[in-house]
Structure 1
Amino acid sequence: MNKIIMHMDVDAFFASVEQMDNPELKGKPVIVGGVGERGVVATCSYEARKYGVHSAMPTFKAKQRCPLGIYLPTRHERYSQISKEIFKILYSLTPMVEPVSIDEAYLDITEVKMKPIECAEFLKREVKKQIGLTVSVGVSYNKFLAKLASDWNKPNGIKVITENMIPEILKPLPLSKVHGMGKKSVEKMNNIGIFTIEDMYKLSKEFCVEYFGKFGLEIYDRIRGIDYREVEVIRERKSIGRETTLRKDLTDKEEMKKYIKYFSEEVSETLNSKNMWGKTITVKVKTSKFVNHTKSKTINFYTNDHREIYKVSCEILEEMELEDSVRLIGLTISTLTENKVEQLSFHSFLGGN
């Protein structure tokens, strides 16, 4: 029996929360993200998108395109609070939920007694009624098509893609709609005259594997409506980190350590809240010439202590040879565990607090 997979995506999540909390913003171009000179757009309302503003765009470019936009800083605590309420509604429908991000999830509704369209309508209705936001929902027999369907009629959309619609419904679509094909892959295809999914049908399986490597087989299958990925109820978290683009370039490592200290405390707080520990610490910097440098160190014990994370991070930073000034700095901890056995550290041996 075919699976029935649903994909749910909150429409312009951060911007929609801001418009909900402040009704005066409704119908206006709201851009949420870094508001400084070097900020980046996290998300924006559909009114702002009409001006060509989109997520990951530098804020200064967004201001050029939409000078009358309303630019707001992110409020992560508020978004997390709303996200938890939305996911409660998802879990009320089925325990088979795979969170993808704070505002996006896959659901396996194969065993749900309601019809697929009724499940989609239930989600949309309850999120609107209980929270006040709109979501777009897609339903199909695999993850690729469910995600494609949820994007189909945004915002506030609903779309079902059935097996008998394949491949005709896919053929006119641009390659950017194929999950896993990034900008560079699309450009490579465009360079050889392949622009739509229908164009890609001309390519053999062997060609796709040769051109894209191991991922080529997945691309070959997906454009034919085949996707074997399951809804993963428990996703292993691989890392926890923080980074920021600096207001002004830095050359002084002592100044950089102030950011490292703040990140260490933030990461430690997140680890503790999730009862997790990590042992691989990575420092990342981006120079004024947009060159990325990363350096990692794996310690011989698990930790979630901010002092240890800070100490190791500073050691890593000192070892990094930086010829240019730094415009971005970040800190990540990985090799995570949820082992509840007490994690011994040097502070434990020393009786530190």
Structure 2
Amino acid sequence: MTVEDFSSGSRQTQSGSILHVDMDAFFVSVEILRRPELRGLPVAVGGSGSRGVVASASYEARAYGVSSAMPSGQARRLCPEIVFLPGDHELYSEVSGRIMGILRSFTPLVEPLSVDEAFLDVSGAHRPPVEIGHLIRKQVRTEEGINCAVGVAAVKFLAKLGSKLAKPEPTPSGPSGGAGVFEVPVGEELAFLSPRPVSDIWGVGPATLAHLNRVGIATIGELADFPLERLEGIVGKAHGRHMHNLANAIDPRPVIPETAAKSISHEKTFARDLHTQEDLGAELVALSDSVASRLRAAGVAGRTVIIKIRFGDFSTITRSHTLASSVDSGVVLAREAKRLLGSVDVAPGVRLIGVGVSDLEDHGQRQLSLEDASTPSWHDVDRAVDRIRDRFGSEVIQTGGAADGGPRGMGWSRQK
């Protein structure tokens, strides 16, 4: 099936035409493709140190209770033989881009949620939605060697729940069962939802679940029948109405295609807390270089610089500044990031720091600032570095020093 099979004249979502496609253990699946000797073993992608967390776990690891966002130390206690691999986000983004291209060959109405999942609206397609789901699974598996699950329903909430139910079960010997494609039939939504646990509702976390359990709500059916006014009094008006609508299969949100990234960012978690502006500033230089390189690779530049800081007690803050013109230079980005950092008291200890750029625009539309015009050599240097990395790899040349507002504050070193 190609995008030409899609009838562009039909834009209204029809019953059963929403698909949610979710890759199975995406990061781990990509890693095993290039390291097939790990197939069948408990594997996790993430930080292996005492401060690391699991980003993705194989089904073999999940059978021991390992899950995403779990501290790495806890994962090792649950599964001492687990193999930890560092993340390769450039590779994951590359594979994700190809997968999203596959999805867009079935319909132009694709809304990515992350690198490994997306909603599709196939209301204008000439094939039944369930058939499209099976074709997507087959094509992703054939072209990328990765399995995915597909949920089919009339609304987003149910489609996402369907993809969860379509996935296999974890066992020590690997994934077992799983329909691959799970449909919530039109007209049977309430019957399907009624016996399911109320925790399946989006937005029902531990605190909300405790409030609901205290008033005798354990299933979605009980939530659907609960008086709306009372529910709003318990969890708040907006949250209560949101949950009540989903419990009654009401979810009017359309699939909104996303044609470009809204921001580009990179962050780092430290093995031990950092307490000084100098140490953190040096980290910002490397992160800024990475973000700037990705901006240039994507052919975009951005105006708003953002830093993210997570302290040792897990409290998190952000600081941002919007520039007069957009940037894609690591030098400028590092300087602005350090300026933002200067307004923060880091003495209590920083666990994680990140740099991001938003308000992106096509590089061809970028207007040079007066600073750009006065220091054009940095753009030449940036692009020379890009060419070296493209040819010899990203590790061959690294940033060195700290950006202190001038060219001498940031340099590159050749790695042997």
TM tier relative to shorter chain? over 0.9
Distance 2:246 2:25 in 1: 27
Which residue number corresponds to residue 146 of structure 1? 159
Change (3 A) 1:81 1:252: same
Which residue number corresponds to residue 179 of structure 1? 202
Corresponding pairs, count: 353
Which residue number corresponds to residue 109 of structure 1? 122
Structure 2 length-normalised TM: 0.79
Distance 2:347 2:103 in 1: 50
Which residue number corresponds to residue 36 of structure 2? 23
Structure 1 length-normalised TM: 0.92
Which residue number corresponds to residue 328 of structure 1? 352
**1:97-136 superposed matches below 5 A:** 97-136=110-149
Deviation at 1:236, TM superposition (A): 6.3
Deviation at 1:6, TM superposition (A): 0.8
Distance 1:219 1:180 in 2: 7
Deviation at 1:77, TM superposition (A): 2.7
Deviation at 1:279, TM superposition (A): 2.5
Which residue number corresponds to residue 183 of structure 2? 160
Change (3 A) 1:80 1:291: closer
288, 309, 330: which one aligns with 1:264: 288
Please give the per-residue CA displacement for 1:194-214, whole angstroms capped at 9, x wherever unaligned: 222122123223334442332
Change (3 A) 1:184 1:302: farther
The secondary structure found in structure 2 opposite 1:293 is strand
The secondary structure found in structure 2 opposite 1:133 is coil
Change (3 A) 1:341 1:115: closer
CA contact 1:63–1:69 (8 Å) conserved in 2? yes
Runs of 4+ in 1 over 6 A off after TM superposition: none
What RMSD, in angstroms, separates the aligned Cα atoms of the two structures? 2.1
Change (3 A) 1:147 1:235: farther
The secondary structure found in structure 1 opposite 2:87 is coil
The secondary structure found in structure 2 opposite 1:9 is strand
The secondary structure found in structure 2 opposite 1:273 is helix
Deviation at 1:113, TM superposition (A): 0.9
Distance 1:219 1:190 in 2: 14
Unaligned residue ranges in structure 2 (runs of 5+): 1-13, 169-177, 378-416
The secondary structure found in structure 2 opposite 1:217 is helix
Please give the per-residue CA displacement for 1:207-261, whole angstroms capped at 9, x wherever unaligned: 3444233243232111111111111112664432211111222122111111101
Which residue number corresponds to residue 189 of structure 1? 212
> Partner amino acid for 1:319?
S
Deviation at 1:119, TM superposition (A): 0.7
Which residue number corresponds to residue 64 of structure 2? 51
The answer to whether structure 1 residue 288 and structure 2 residue 312 are counterparts is yes
Which residue number corresponds to residue 311 of structure 1? 335
Which residue number corresponds to residue 99 of structure 2? 86
> Partner amino acid for 1:178?
I
The secondary structure found in structure 1 opposite 2:15 is coil
The secondary structure found in structure 1 opposite 2:229 is helix
CA contact 1:284–1:331 (8 Å) conserved in 2? yes
Deviation at 1:31, TM superposition (A): 0.9
